[in-house]
Chain A
Amino acid sequence: MDSKNKIEVKNLNLWYGDKPALKDNNLSVKEKRVTALIGPSGCGKSTFVRCINRMNDLIDGVRITGSVLLDGKNIYDKDVDVVALRKMVGMVFQRPNPFPMSIFDNIAYGPRIHGIKDKDTLRKIVEESLVGAALWDEVSDRLATNALDLSGGQQQRLCIARSLAVKPEVILFDEPCSALDPIATGKIEDLIHELRKKYTIVIVTHNMQQAARVSDYTGFFLLGKLLEFGKTRDIFENPKKKETEDYITGRFG
């Protein structure tokens, strides 16, 4: 059974200066489902996903129109607390970006800035987050080690654990496996499959097989426009648009 819409994007436009990057996009993201966004480089999929936690606010010269409703509330409304929004909508990037500090402190960083001081509570959050990110068994005996000593795949799962620590409802993944080998990629994909039980997930990926493997819904972007959106099964078995078919079969261009 289909779940309710967690995020509803309506008539979303974005310009970098004069250059339009997103053109009148509409998309609904279902709660506790994985939505994958695919498309060629520069098609706007990363820009789109960054609109969901207002990451584009940080870039000079960006202008946005339209709305992004999270549980029915427009996150671009003036009264929205962006820090609280980003706590609710976590993000994991292409390259793992652990802070240059211990594994423990990496995970505890978010909860601490949100005011949690109690050591036992922090320890509990760190453990839960690492378990949730399928990293606990590998690092439980060395939480004081510098996070930069972990392998690339472990660092990426640490970043996922770090985003889980602030108890988000939505997690955005922007090409989370592009810097990882197939084994580390497999672990992240298994993890996404687990995370979907509790979180709403949006993943941008260049790897179409990955989109096919991990997602419930897939959107295809081309030149700033969401060209086709549907159940992943339908997109990969029988896409409606010729451009989608050309792209996913590798006959694009």
Chain B
Amino acid sequence: MPRAKLDFQIDTIKQDILKMTKVVEEQLRDAMKALSHLDRELAQRVIEKDDETNALYGEIKERCIQTIALQQPVAKDLRIISIAMDVASNLERVGDYAVDIAKNVDYILKESPHLSEEFNRDVLKLIDGEGEKNLMIEMGEVVARMVKDSGPAFIHEDSRKIEEINRLEDQVDDLFRKIFRRLEDISRKDTEGVSFALNLILTARYLERIADHSVNITKRTCYAMKGKEEYV
């Protein structure tokens, strides 16, 4: 078969992207779980897992550059390889945000004893994983689905997944606005907790950024598919 070596390299790059997607999705889900259960150990594991994400990113980037240098791909082959680097870079950022979310667990555990019972109850309602579904957890769930689909959308050039990710982004924006307003109200009532509330707003902001990275991946996928950055 002509270009067997190039095809092998492209296939390996694609498999690594799938693997990286799984790793960062797990990082994100664990970060949200650590947040909802205020689980310090799990949060620590999320932080440590970032080394694996970064190593995978390095490997993918290296393989892409090597393939470009040695195989001199053009047209769609070149688009796939160069976009794979973009996809990996977006996934790497997802890993970083998962770490940022996990780091909040420690802060919440340290700060909440100093705040009023009412404040704690109102705030923790946003992140508490038990009982009724709450906004921050719901947002985390939607965002994790977007991340989960993003790598496969690129690998399989899956238009349905691309559409789904873009549809979910609106939901994420909506949830972000709701969380923002809720935390604004809570901190107005109890100014002692402003810094605490701001930290949770940041968490929601990280989730919203992760969603943006998933959307970026779909945009770049459209380019790899069609040579134009427009939705299919």
Contacts and interface: CB of A to CB of B under 8 A. Distances in A.
Interface in B1-30: 2-3, 6
B75 interface: yes
A237 B79 contact: yes
A177 B73 CA distance: 21
Contact of B76 (A208, A245, A250, A252): A245
Given A209-B72, A238-B227, A249 B79 contact: no
B39 interface: no
A238 B72 CA distance: 15
Nearest to B228: A238
Contacts of A251: 2-3
| A212, A236, A237: residue with the most chain B Cβ atoms closer than 10 Å | A237
B78 interface: yes
A171 to B, nearest CB: 26
A249 B74 CA distance: 6
A131 to B, nearest CB: 33
A239 interface: yes
Nearest to A253: B2
Contact of A250 (B6, B79, B226, B228): B6
B78 A237 contact: yes
B86 interface: no
B173 interface: no
A252 B74 contact: no
A252 B2 contact: yes
A116 B228 CA distance: 56
Categorize the interface residue count of chain A.
Answer: 10 to 19
Contacts of B78: 236-237
A85 interface: no
Contacts of A239: 75
Interface string A94-112: 0000000000000000000
B77 to A, nearest CB: 5
Interface in B74-91: 74-79
Given A237-B227, A238-B227, A249 B72 contact: no
Given A237-B227, A238-B227, A250 B2 contact: yes
Interface string B83-114: 00000000000000000000000000000000
| A209, A236, A249: residue with the most chain B Cβ atoms closer than 10 Å | A249
A248 interface: yes
A237 B76 CA distance: 7
Interface in A206-247: 208-209, 212, 236-239, 245
A236 B2 contact: no
8 closest A-B pairs by beta carbon, nearest first, are: A238-B227, A250-B3, A236-B74, A248-B74, A245-B75, A251-B2, A249-B77, A249-B75
20 contacts: A209-B72, A212-B74, A236-B74, A236-B78, A237-B75, A237-B78, A237-B79, A237-B227, A238-B75, A238-B79, A239-B75, A245-B76, A248-B75, A249-B73, A249-B74, A249-B75, A249-B77, A250-B6, A251-B3, A253-B2
Interface of B: 2-3, 6, 72-79, 226-228
